[in-house]
């Protein structure tokens, strides 16, 4: 499992090659901190999620960088504030 960090202005986001991404506040964090939100790769847009829900693009690709930045611009601050629930851990907010 590869973990690739991104630091858009709204949040720190770590994309995992095995199907999810974690969102943390932009402030410094220590090892063991739980993410404010855990999302599925499909949330990042078309073409990011591949077979078996794994990452379909290279971790350092421009496509992934653009997808993370676009998602963060729309959802990053809300995810950090807890407005999206906790994500795929089963504590999503009810729509």
Domain range enclosing 62: 3-81
Q: Is residue 45 part of a domain?
A: yes
Q: Is residue 88 part of a domain?
A: no
Q: Is residue 14 part of a domain?
A: yes
The residues near 34 (Cβ < 8 Å, ≥ 6 apart) are: none
pLDDT band at 92 (very low <50, low <70, confident <90, very high): low
Instruction: Output the pLDDT for position 91.
Output: 53
Question: Is residue 93 predicted with pLDDT exceeding 60?
Answer: no
pTM value is 0.85
Render the burial of 61-70: b for 16+ CB within 10 Å, e for the rest.
Answer: eeebbebbbe
Q: Is residue 86 part of a domain?
A: no
Q: Please state the domain count of the chain.
A: 1
């Amino acid at each position: 499992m590869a973990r690739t960090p991104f630091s858009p202005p709204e949040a720190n986001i770590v994309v995992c090659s095995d199907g999810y991404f974690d969102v943390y506040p932009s402030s410094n964090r220590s090892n063991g901190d739980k993410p404010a939100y855990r999302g599925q790769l499909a949330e990042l847009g078309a073409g990011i999620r591949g077979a078996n829900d794994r990452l379909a693009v290279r971790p350092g690709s421009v496509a992934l960088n653009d997808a993370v930045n676009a998602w963060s611009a729309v959802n990053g601050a809300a995810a950090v504030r807890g407005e999206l629930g906790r994500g795929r851990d089963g504590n999503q907010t009810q729509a």
